[in-house]
Structure 1
Amino acid sequence: MSVRQSLLAILEQGPCYGYQLRAEFDRRTGSVWPLNVGQIYNTLERLERDGLVSKGEVDEQGHVYYGITDAGSAEVAHWLRAPVKRGQGTRDELAIKLAVAATLPAVDVGAVIRAQRRASVAQLQELDAAEYAGANPGGPEELAWSLVMDSMIFAAEAEVRWLDHIEKRLSLHPQHALQLELSTDRPKRGRPARVG
């Protein structure tokens, strides 16, 4: 997720100070991705360094307001037009855990999958039962919250389907056929040779 572009997009509406930006981010995302104020101010410093925001007025409470620059507005416009690119590889802890567990001797990978399915179904039930508790029911804050919640629900449903799928795939192989012994090949030190 791009905190940087999200904060810039909020600043398109007008100058804000750090705590205000955090509150606006929370309002627009249903507080499902909490940001700490230090992260906000670090991001603002980088945005200022990159010429995307500039410091403005300081109010009587000492709040420093940041405003978006023309370059910042251009970056927001580009971000909103461009599709989100998903990474090629995975750093999904669950996928890696199950891939490794399936290749280890004496691991009941079915039990690992069943434990994860129970946790995933419980999370899905919690998400399904969640109700909007913010201000302005039926308003834009609730709509933003529901968009994020729908994404989380669909991801949890997909995870349960994926767990069912891999359990079925693994059941087609005897456990001993999946085990990988440690390789006797010794990796070479240093960087791999360049091709071409």
Structure 2
Amino acid sequence: MSQVLITGTTGLVGGHLLRLLMQERKVNYIAAPTRRPLTDISGVFNPYDPQLTDALAQVKDPIDIAFCCLGTTRRAAGSKEAFIHADYTLVVDTALTAKKLGAKHFLVVSSMGANARSPFFYNQVKGKMEDALIAQNWERLTIVRPSMLLGDRDKQRFNESIFAPLFQLFPGNWKSIQARDVARAMLHEAFSPTQEGVNIIPSAKLREIAKGEA
């Protein structure tokens, strides 16, 4: 049985993943810190605080596996600084908290094209986030890099509403992917006896794993 920490549960991938974890027989404890309280859940420890780092600090029980599904866009965040805080700082804070609580495996949602040396701000921040997690020397670190996400959001992102239909026509890693499939793939990887170290999973592979789990 595993004790799990997850952040980003109010988002698209995180919401699907939380529901999967609640149904998973291998999980006997879930801590899901959030900025605002979750609704329609039971059996989940949900400390919440507008400052997510303060909510994370309320998690005291040992953790085996941690998931981070935090992610926004520069437009939604409102500024470069707010985007960095959400997609870099809070992700690193989640990892540090999980490691302090004993987690051996950290799984994180990044993005296709993540590269710390990218000329594109979004990809650059995602790449720096990945580099920071790799530098933490996790026993197991799983980085998933989905393409454009599909799914029902409370607030539809502008770029996704415009480009999602087009991305469904693309091949390989460029093809858009359902958020629930990313969640399924992450759950599978969390409990699969894959190799130790850093495992980076591109979007096409995520779809393949999810298909096997459907």
**Normalised by the size of structure 1, how large is the TM-score?**
0.24
Larger Rg: 1
Q: Which has the higher helix share?
A: 1
Q: Which has the higher strand share?
A: 2
Q: Which has the higher contact order (CA 8 A, sep 6+)?
A: 1
